Chains A and B, each alone.
Chain A
Amino acid sequence: MELEASVHLHAVKLMGVSKRYGNVTAVEYIDLEVGKGEIVGLLGPNGSGKSTTIKMILGLVKPDTGSVNVLGINVKEDPIGVKRKIGYVPESPRIYEFLTGLEFLDFTGDVYGMAPDEKKKRIEEFVKALDLEGREGDMISSYSEGMKQKVVIISALMHKPQLLLLDEPLSGLDPKSARIVKDLLRELASQGVTTIMSTHVLEIAQAMCDRIAIMYNGRLLALGTMQELREKAMMPESRLEDIFLKLTGTGDVKPIVEALMK
């Protein structure tokens, strides 16, 4: 019993994980432990390795070194077992445009082996909550980007995954839906669902995440709660933006702005 519990203590555990694409080092020796029910934000500028890290957790990208463990399962050994427990939203997802929103969600339910009754209940609830009612029977090709994003978010949440991997999930959502998704993630966290989400929007990270991981050039610069990050940066009263700029060494933006204004 004790042993079982300790094995499952971490929802996600990355040990010495790195990934290179040719000359580009996308991710460099990252160690990351995420506890159950935690919401962790991956924060970093474009190209810092957030998406690659998420894909490695899901098993879509094979790390060159290190190991990835999800909910007690080694991703390399049982990739399908891991995928079954994960809800994934890629960045700017493309989905089958020839299906209707409803058909796509129905398809997702079947892919994850949901029972018909449960599938129906979950789809109806989500469609209503995210204001897709009335359009769910239309072909996705006629949806706006935000509506497509909503459909993908529903498909990631509807099969009750234990781990959510969300790559820039709120981009393109209207404020009301973004708020609903945020509240939903909090609610799910209290039920023990773990979330790892990437973002480059500082406000989202600060408002939603228990802990924040700052990534830069494929490396994990800092990891901790807001308070811990402030201490690490020795900027006790600062906002996340200033900490972020200081830690990533991109603090002094004044000359750049001045150059642009010329």
Chain B
Amino acid sequence: MNWKTVLRLISIDIKSSRLIRGTRLGSILENKVLTTVLYVGACICGAIVGWLIGNFYSGVPDPALKEAIFKGATSLFVTFPTLALIYGLVFTQMSQIQRIGVKVSIQPLYWYPITWGEHTLASIIANLIGAPLIITVFICSSILVASAFLGLIALAVCTVLALMGSLFTASITTEIVKVLQVRVSGAVTKVAGRTAVWVRLLGTIIFLIVFYLVYFTLVYGASFTALIESMAGGQRILWFIPYLWFGITLSAIVNGLNFEAVIFALTSIGFIYALFVAAVRLNAKFGLYEAPSITISRGTYTPKTGLLGKLGFSSLEAAIMRKDFKAFTRRRELMYIFIMPIVFILMPIVSSIRGTADTMPSIFSKFLFVYIALLPGTLMAVSIGSILTGSEGESIWYVHASPVSAKSYVKAKYFFTVFFSLAVTVICILFAAVWTAPSLRTVLIGFFEAFLLVLALSMVSLSFGIKGADFRELPRPRMIRPLWSLINMAICLALALAIISPMIPYAVKILFESIFLPIDLSTIISESYLYSALFLSAIIATIIFFTFYRITVKNAETLLSSAGG
């Protein structure tokens, strides 16, 4: 193993992941000084926290309490390795997910004299740079400083070592999962044949849902202290899981079981080594694996006459819509869009499970209905509208060269956004209706408002999506320039509030009618208010729609008539 090569590969990886993220944060981190400041800052913050804890401990007069704190600290130390394992896995998987759709990865430079061992090690370490390492620096410095006051230096040093080991294990695991994922999905593609596209879409969505479910459960779900308590005791029962061996080593040290501690320490090191060897072997075998091409049709070709033609779309408009539909079901970076509504539904579910499982308070359930009915569909419209033009990528020359008029272009892109977002809205409303059991009237009102939001905001974000389109595809499809994306979101937020504003008094009345209020709202907000509010909402949405229709067509004219100046 040539360490210089490994270091060089790591620095290449860091640079390329900055390019991939392409965020402004990336360019801040580019600055070596600032990077150093981040790590040193984490170290100093950790030290301060450790110092505060230590001082607090020293200041406690009651020996019983002191004893309790001491015990608590040791059991906390014991849990750190497993904790590091979990956040290590979450963050390294997250960075893998960020790379979905990246065109040029830092492929193993197989024509260079680099061994697979060097390549794998570099990839494992590079994965940890950033959030996982900063968190680790923070934890380690606070442990070390606090332990000086508690007189636990030896244990603290062991904890730091075990924590590093766990973090490393997490990253190796992610590396192994990465290689296997490519290989397995390739095999599935081969077996699935025509249905490969759908299998891939479903597989990606399920993977992301599971990931976010775990993530939200960790972040919002099970209470943190309960987790630590159960881990401190539970680790030893699960001794046969190698991933926990670092934690078990520590708890053996705490309990003075020296022989057990030595055994588990040695086996943990053996485990890391075995895992690393497995990762290297897998990389050597499948690292250059090219997924087989997906064959979608065989045999004779028969042109389809679609449903869209009957709905009043010209063959050109229908063709563009069909092409975009295929893009969203086949391009992995666009599939990401699908999980957004699912995540929005998952978040409140997970956080409501955390509370008592009794009947939901009615305000909460009403609020939840509004949230699920309006938010996912509207967000879908805003995000699809804003990336739909940029998603053409470098193939945009084809649109430029085609006999497509600005109006046709806008029509095809607009209705694609609307159809997609409305489908999401309907599914979400059905889901919310089953879950929170609102009155039929509430459902209809919710649908009406969601409908208005989707119709108006699709056009708004389409216009910004054209204006701010970014067709660059390397290293990652950009779709829209960040500034225009922000402008779009801000304006859509303001306009969404404008559209629903007439309904706000009514919503307040519905939400709080069961609660005592100083004024009797029902006399002020009568039935007829509801209908005029709905009407007013519709008018505002219509005005927004037509205003932005003009702007969008103008933007599309500019887009279509100028390729490269």
Contacts and interface: CB of A to CB of B under 8 A. Distances in A.
B561 A79 contact: yes
B301 interface: yes
B294 A138 contact: yes
A93 B561 CA distance: 19
A235 to B, nearest CB: 37
Interface in A95-148: 95-96, 98-100, 102-103, 106-107, 109-113, 116-117, 119-120, 123-124, 136-139, 141-142
A107 B402 CA distance: 11
B285 interface: no
Contacts of B393: 94
A60 B564 CA distance: 8
A61 B318 contact: no
Contact of B296 (A55, A83, A100): A100
Contacts of A107: 319, 322-323
B8 interface: no
A98 B330 contact: yes
A59 interface: yes
Contact of B404 (A59, A111, A124): A111
A123 B404 contact: no
A120 B395 contact: no
B403 A112 contact: yes
A216 interface: no
B68 interface: no
Interface in B292-312: 292-298, 301-305
Nearest to B314: A113
B331 interface: yes
A209 to B, nearest CB: 22
B316 A110 contact: yes
Interface in B455-512: 473
B397 interface: yes
A244 interface: no
B297 A102 contact: yes
Contacts of A139: 293-296, 330
Contacts of A60: 397, 400-401, 562-564
Interface in A24-50: none
Contacts of A137: 295-298
A90 interface: yes
A247 B429 CA distance: 72
A58 interface: yes
Contact of B301 (A59, A62, A102): A102
Interface in B336-385: none
Given A106-B303, A137-B295, A111 B563 contact: no
A139 B291 CA distance: 12
A59 B560 CA distance: 10
Contacts of A111: 315-316, 319-320, 402-404
B323 A99 contact: yes
B111 interface: no
A117 B305 CA distance: 11
A109 B303 contact: yes
A61 B561 CA distance: 7
A39 to B, nearest CB: 20
B405 interface: yes
B315 A110 contact: yes
A138 B296 contact: yes
B395 A94 contact: yes
A80 interface: yes
Given A61-B563, A100-B296, A83 B403 contact: yes
Contacts of A102: 297, 301
A77 B565 CA distance: 18
A213 to B, nearest CB: 22
Contacts of B400: 60
Given A62-B562, A112-B403, A120-B303, A94 B394 contact: yes
A98 B331 contact: yes
Nearest to A95: B395
A137 B298 CA distance: 6
Contacts of A124: 301
B550 interface: no
A96 B395 contact: yes
Contact of A96 (B318, B323, B401, B561): B323
Contacts of A55: 563-564
A84 interface: yes
B293 A142 contact: yes
B142 to A, nearest CB: 48
B398 interface: yes
A141 B293 contact: yes
Given A59-B561, A60-B564, A119-B303, A113 B315 contact: yes
B253 interface: no
A238 to B, nearest CB: 36
Nearest to A165: B401
B533 interface: no
Contacts of A95: 395, 398
A255 B298 CA distance: 57
Given A138-B296, A139-B293, A62 B561 contact: yes
Most chain-B Cβ atoms within 10 A of its Cβ — which of A83, A86, A109, A124? A83
A94 B397 contact: yes
Contacts of B402: 83, 111-112
A109 B560 CA distance: 20
Nearest to A156: B401
Interface in A7-31: 21
A80 B293 contact: no
B192 interface: no
A47 B75 CA distance: 70
B403 A120 contact: no
A144 B331 CA distance: 19
B296 A84 contact: no
B296 A21 contact: no
A99 B326 contact: yes
A76 B564 CA distance: 16
B327 interface: yes
Interface of A: 21, 55, 58-62, 79-81, 83-84, 86, 88, 90, 93-96, 98-100, 102-103, 106-107, 109-113, 116-117, 119-120, 123-124, 136-139, 141-142
Given A59-B561, A110-B316, 14 more contacts: A60-B397, A60-B564, A95-B398, A98-B330, A102-B297, A111-B319, A113-B316, A117-B303, A120-B301, A123-B301, A137-B295, A137-B296, A137-B298, A139-B295
23 contacts: A58-B401, A60-B400, A60-B564, A62-B562, A62-B565, A83-B401, A90-B397, A94-B393, A95-B398, A100-B297, A106-B301, A106-B319, A107-B319, A107-B323, A111-B404, A112-B316, A113-B316, A117-B303, A137-B297, A139-B294, A139-B296, A139-B330, A142-B292
Q: Which 4 A-B pairs have the closest CB atoms?
A: A142-B293, A110-B319, A137-B297, A84-B403
